[in-house]
Amino acid sequence: MQRRKFLQHTALCAVAVSTSGFIQFNGETYVGDCATTSDILGPFYRPDAPLRTNLLIKGDAGVEVVLKGTVRHNDCTTPYKGARVELWHCDAKEVYDNTSDEFRYRGTTHCNEKGHYEFLTILPVPYKDNQGQMRPAHFHLMISAPGYQSYVTQLYFTGDPNIAGDAYASAPTSKSRILNMASSKNGRKLVTFDVKMAEKLIAEPAAIDQLTGTYFDQVDPKRTVVFFKRDGVLWKKAGSSIYGVAYDYLGNNTFSQAGLQPPLLLTCAFEILGNGAVKMTENRVNAQGIKTIAIAHKVN
């Protein structure tokens, strides 16, 4: 499956931050204790990748590289033993294996007692997306650890000339994920990426741009919902008010209306589709505990 056949830049990026300290958006990035940034999740994730750390495939071209790092709790110090780490990326021909039983260039491991993880694989390559823009080479990582929201990110490489022209890789929040490559004695490249887990996710402003706009109700097209961005946060227009209501990011492409007290609940889950449209599923729970669901779409 060729990457260029997919709509790229198709999911939320998020900034994961520790809830144990103060955090604020300074106009370029989020500031907080041991803040960790994350990037977009493309349409190529497959669950249930096999447990393995060697992703090399005999006969395939590519520069061999070791990706390793340490996963820590949100105190930024304590190693997280047993954290689940998933890696996936394209091959040297820009192809993701989305269908075969081989799960090519996909693997899962668990951190050891020191919180350490390590993979042996090849470097992915840059590609041209369906809008004709070059995306830099990158790894995808998903780290899951009980007690924290799953952390999804993309890792880029220093010196890639395509980073400057990529809206996500060139964002200030991506600086810590543009990684240097060292050379080992056996000729392989070495890339290190450490992770601090977090209990709360904040959606990156650049990603929210993909969600803003007018959504049309699937059942009643005359009913519309308007989302916009203000101060780096997702808001929904409320009647004629220019302020509307703010939404907190819950992770998993899902936002919750801020300020509601139980049993009241209003969440909006977004799915960016392959044709560029965005599907939004709204779930409501009223004061009587009655649940309602509405589905709306935004067409680019």
300, pLDDT greater than 90: no
DSSP category for residue 172:
G
Instruction: Please tell me the least confidently modeled range out of 13-22, 157-166, 208-217, 246-255.
Output: 13-22
Backbone angles phi, psi at 208, to 5 degrees: -60, -30
98, pLDDT greater than 90: no
What's the chain's average pLDDT? 83
Instruction: Give the pLDDT band (50/70/90) at residue 10.
Output: very low
Q: Cα(196)–Cα(105) distance, rounded to whole angstroms?
A: 25
Q: Using an 8 Å Cβ cutoff, are 258 and 250 in contact? A: no
Instruction: Please tell me the least confidently modeled range out of 53-57, 181-185, 294-298.
Output: 181-185
274, pLDDT greater than 80: no
Q: Is the pTM of this model over 0.85?
A: no
CA atoms within 13 A on the CB side of 137: 19
21, pLDDT greater than 60: no
Span 107-143, pLDDT tens digits: 999 999 999 999 999 999 998 776 677 889 999 999 9
Closest-CA residue to 179 (of 23, 39, 52, 78): 39
Q: Using an 8 Å Cβ cutoff, are 46 and 88 in contact? A: yes
Q: Report the pLDDT value the prediction gives residue 18, as an integer from 0 to 100.
A: 34
- Helix boundaries (H) for the chain: 205-208
Q: Using an 8 Å Cβ cutoff, are 199 and 150 in contact? A: no
Closest-CA residue to 176 (of 15, 5, 4): 15
Q: Report the pLDDT value the prediction gives residue 55, as an integer from 0 to 100.
A: 98
Q: Report the pLDDT value the prediction gives residue 3, as an integer from 0 to 100.
A: 47
